[in-house]
Structure 1
Amino acid sequence: FQFNGRQISLNGFLIATWTPSENQRTLTIEFTANATPSIVQKLLHQLVVQQESPVLELAFSVSDGDGAQSATINTQIARGSTADWRQDLLLFNSETSQWNVGVNVGGEFQWLPGPQWNQSAGWRILSGDINGDGFTDGIGVTESNAIFVALNNGQGSLTTMPAGSLAPNESIQHLLVGDFNGDGRDDVIMQQATNHTTLLPGSWFVKSFDGASFRTSFYGRWEANGWVDFGVGDVNQDGVDDIIGVRNAMVGVERVNWFYGISNQIPDDSYRLFAQFAGAFSGRVESTGWHSVLIGDWNNDGRADVAARRNDGRFVYGTATGGLTPFAAIGANRLINSAGPLFSNSAFSGPFFVGDFNGDGRDDIGTRQSNDRNLWVAASSTAAPTSSTAQLWGPWDDTLNWSGAAIGDFNGDGRDDYVSVDLTGSHAWVSVSTGTGFATMSDFGLITGTEVLVGPLMLKRGLL
């Protein structure tokens, strides 16, 4: 978002104007017709979370195209201080299929048991805000493609809700979460990989919740084979999430190609993924690697950027600051390549995380050393082209039995921190970012519950 006086713009379009009250406790925000529900949600989150003195009350009106007021909404922000925006932790124990909720009360998580799902279902676990209430829900997809949601009530309680299924005799791949229709609710997107019972391999389907029930929507058909990986981000600043994929170029061409799948509304009001060539990295998968694919906003311009790691351990950035993508004026930019940080293969096997560890608004790359002794961060540069250097940010503990890891803002200061779980002691440990490093890891408390932690654990940050 661009702030010019009391005007707020996105991608050159006026989104809203704002007026503070005399006591500075209330903002009146008037949105224009350019503001989709997703844009409204993201702007309100930024205004509340990123201020040193958070907004306590919001009164805003919705304006149509000619400026006439059509609705007025008054809302009280329940989380009234920066500390109240501390993120919580969702835990899924893969061995027992048990959910646990860790509510952040400041310096520790207070754990509540969630539902236990079928242990033989072969769960693939995701998370997102399925019903748009601002709280993070758990999502599970079984081996037979049945989808279930662990719906969060905002008070630490999860309730299992079935969300339907997709072609139980087919294989699905590239399961991702994002708001692909701009309604403010997260959706689940997946690609059908096979054609055992249908003739549509490569088809993209989106499972979405309309507030009352789930529906499945067709989002287009791409090649099913050959993709290295996909990620989610908003590539054209319209407030609607898109997908980004990478694959080898045609045989004989020494490069990999990046493609945007831009979620675009078509005349019948449904959505399709509009494929656009986004850029290329030199070297094919077989010879160069291109693993650890990451999606982040390296320059804080509101567009999703990419990075991928070569076989020699070097990341390459693709920052979306180039010219417009070809064929259609849909608002997406080409990727500009630049050298990224080197994480030697002998010391770093991943996983790598994307987060804003220094609080400057730019996403960075972080990871734990393979021997569990240290945490490292490569902070994105402030100047173009995007660059960074891997730096030691703090110690970790190689004497404990770690399972799962996640990043999140666990003290509400606007900087991302690091969390992992010691299986043997059943404790969650957090290293809090100081902006230039990680403080000594802190014990965030015993994970209580009837089920023994076995692992592997899936950790998901969010507001619970």
Structure 2
Amino acid sequence: MAKTISTSTLGPVALNPNTDNPLTITSTGTVTATGTAASIYGSGTAWTVSNSGSVSAATADGFKLSGGTTLTNGVGGVITSSGTHGGGLSVGAGIYVQNGSGNVTNQGSISGGGYGVALGGGGSVTNASSITAGEDAVRISGSAGTISNSGTLTGTFDDGIGLFAGGSITNASGGTITSSGTAGAAIYTSNNGATNVDNSGVISATVHTILIDGGGSVTNNQGGTITGGNAGVFFKNLPGTVTNSGLISGTVAPNGTGVYLENNGNITNTSTGTITGAFFGAFLEGGAGTISNSGSISAAIYDGVVLGLGGMVTNAAGGNITGGSTGVYVKYRAAGTVTNSGSIAGIATSSTGVDLAGGGTLTNDVGGSITGGNFGVFVGSTSTLATLAMIGTIFNSGNIASAKYDGIDLSKGGTVTNLAGGTITGGSNGVYVNTGSSGTVTNTGNITATATSGAGVDLGGGGIVTNSSGGVITGGGFGVFTTGAAGTVTNNGSITGAHGVSLGVGGSVTNSATGVVTGQTAGVFASTSASSTVVNAGHISATAGAGADIEGGGSVTNSAGGVISGSAFGVFMTGAANTVTNAGTISGATYAVDFTGSGTNRLIVDPTAVFTGKVAANSTAANTLELASGTGSIGGLGATGASFANFQTLAVDGGGSWTLTGANTTTSVFDGGALDIAGTLGAASIAFQGIGSALLIDNAATFGSNVGTSSYTGPQLQDFVTGDKVDLKNIASTGAAFTYNPSTGLLQVTNGLNQVATLDFQNSTLGNRTFQLTSDGGTGTLVTLGGTTILPSPPAVPGADVEWQNGPGGLLAAWNMNGAQVVASNYVTVQGSLAAPGPTWSVAGLGDFNGDGTNDLLWRNQSGTLVDWTMNGSQITSSQTVTFGASPATPDSTWNVAGIGDFNGDGKDDILWRNASGSLVDWTMNGSQVTASQQVTLGGGAATPDASWSVAGIGDFNGDGKADILWRSANGSLIDWTMNGSQISSVQAVTLGGSPAAPGSDWSVAGIGDFNGDGKADILWRNSNGTLIDWTMNGSQIANSQQVTLGGSPAMPDSSWQIAQIGDFDGNGTSDILWRNTSGAMEEWSMNGAQIASVSPVTFQGTPATPPLTWNTLSKPTDFV
């Protein structure tokens, strides 16, 4: 039964659920309570109330209804309570609904000293007018609440809205939600439920504007404003999502923050959105959240954006992020990812654009700008609490700049890739990697340091710099500066500085045909601390010093077309042993090339070489001038002051045909080449090294003194054997005759024209002494030895399956195997002649570099030169210098081959190089060409194991078609690197039964091979007591560990037996073991997993094959190639 109040009524009014529901109060009705009870109260039903009049209470609630309520306060309706805040829901609420859901619609005025509307069982409030309270204008608890506001909600002491079980809030355009006190928020929600806020109006507070404890979302539409003192939006305890197209601000120091997500979440700021704070613009803690910005995010004092535990920041084109100290800051506790197509800036003089304290990845796209006062981008932290690697990976196609220090600073190492169109500018350095950390910089854009002492790129812990075609690197002091460890610089563009490139601890510089390196003091400078290598096919120059100044020894190779020039020196070298190879142009006003110090030096001259200025070696060491293959002429060899001064030895390479003009003083050595003495030669000796060497003497009368007499003095001819020749070009062969005195070694030659010549041979190295005189086909006489070349019979040893060498620099042989039988044993030959590289050459490794199915031989010279022999059985089908970018690849002595294997699965073996500093480089091979030279990386950062780790073996342990790397620590730990080219796809400890496998120091890896034929490499271990163990591998897991047995008993060869080679000698698909005894005896073990299927002596033509102990196999048992 309905009840209507149309007159003035003294409250309290108690409603009867049977007679007073619904209740209507007309515009003339008033209910006033002056006591401590509610003005109107009732329970026991779901109430429906409509008010257009006035309801007021002195100290209690205006309405206090229990059992659920729908209450409409119409236009002109006034509901008020004069009670005070802090007394609870029953004291001072305009409307209080308990024990049921309440639904309140207001078009009039509702106010309370404590609460405007309080719903104790959830429900909804729709406000189109005014609700004001001392505590909360609207409070909903007990269950979720829904609030729609287009009027005014004001909390003068605490909250404008308080939701204690979550729900949703919509503030329409024109709507205002305010907390004007210092104890609350405009909107507060507890952690009992998620809350979603949608705002198109105004929400403001003195402290926090929106404070959400229970997670949810805030959407601030275009035109909407959310402003507060401490935080515009604050999500506490649980993650939140903020989408902003209007204005969100926290303006009051010391804590003013636009958006603060304390426990993770996501922030999206659209193109019309602005987020600003006094201290922070947007601050995201507690997890790896995301911030996407197309509008404006700013902070006056500290950081525009902060990620406290990693995450991702994406700043789109048109987006602007600024901070007083930092534009974007990612704390040290986790790595972050920043992608920028807009503008990110630190605006204070000591600011940073982007600071990735925990490391991470930054991509600055085309049009993107990142700037700071001190640093454009800074990666890493000095915090003692930091536990991460803090390695940075930077990709730039836009602009990164700082005014004072570094455009990019990687304090813990990493990589920088500056793409075409990208600019990186700093005061001190364009790119800086801190001391002790390795860095990799690849540039196709522009990198600049503006300070007079600055470096375009400064790698404080060594590393790699690749400047591609079109790339420009410039610094006032240095174009590129590396220190702390070896540096590797490859240039196809332009590098400029007072020192173009400076290597503080050695390394290498490769300047291609398009590369230009320019300096004032030096084009390329290398300090005294380590040897260095320079390979040039372009231009290297210095306007006030040396084109290349190498102070710690090493090598300089100037290819055809290359130019190295300096105002004083073209090339200046001192320190340890030095080598300069020139096929281009080297020039200097003082010296073209100057070797100083006390080291041994070698100058290699190509027929195309041009020297502008003199060449001088030190006068204290044994220096060599080497004439390379081809046809050329040279002169002026002599002592100090000569064109080529202080070269005690003149060497002519195989295939070389050189004319020596003018007056010369030196000792000559041939290696299958030819030297034409057109002038004079004062030399103590001439050595013929390599069969087929030729000495051409234009005028025999000036070749020595007292020619034609027994008192002749002249160069002694050493190592002259069958196949070598001396051409006496002006001694006619008509009537030519000779006499030879074996006691003095003098050969006297005469002819019918009374012409005479004298040659002095060293008896101890002379061949068969059967001299022959024949016509040289022209006007001269050839002096040769008769008979055929006498060669030792080849040892009974392998060929295509097993390669041998007779001592360092000696002859080579090859065995073809069929199980334990040597079916063919041949010397290695090139174009029908025996191959013997000489003592300066050593085998660096065997591998199938061209993918033809047979192993090739990689040779390395003491000078650093590398040569690839393509093999076909025992025949060398091709011998080519290893090149990279058309220039010879000559790693210096700090680099060694750590292993050979097909790391990228292209069917061709690659070469793993390791530097003394720990750096690793992978060469992708195509025959003798290095198609790619890349630093080995893990997760984008350089992999540099310290000296306690060594490569124990190479093999495809997981059967994916790519070779993996087995590392062993000095403490016995084992690590498996699964490789994908130069990238390490995984690093895992080697385990057996789930536990790390760490054999003691009495165990060593004896060989790597597929002993069970499962397509995966296995590991053969050998103990110092002779015990052998076979590990069947499945990636980094040891599937089976078994002792090697023969007929069920352990096989334990004593220390007189060593493994010579691992290979499938019988062609059954499993690897076998070739053993060799100190007595020379050899055995072949045919394997079936850990079981030896058979043991057989190695035989050749039915007799035991026992090569002399001077012969050694060239294969490395731990490289399974």
The reply to whether TM is greater than 0.5 is no
The structure with the greater share of residues assigned to strand is 2
Normalized against structure 1, the TM-score is what?
0.45
The alignment's TM-score, normalised by the length of structure 2, stands at: 0.20
Structure with more relative contact order (C-alpha pairs < 8 Å, separation 6 or more): 1
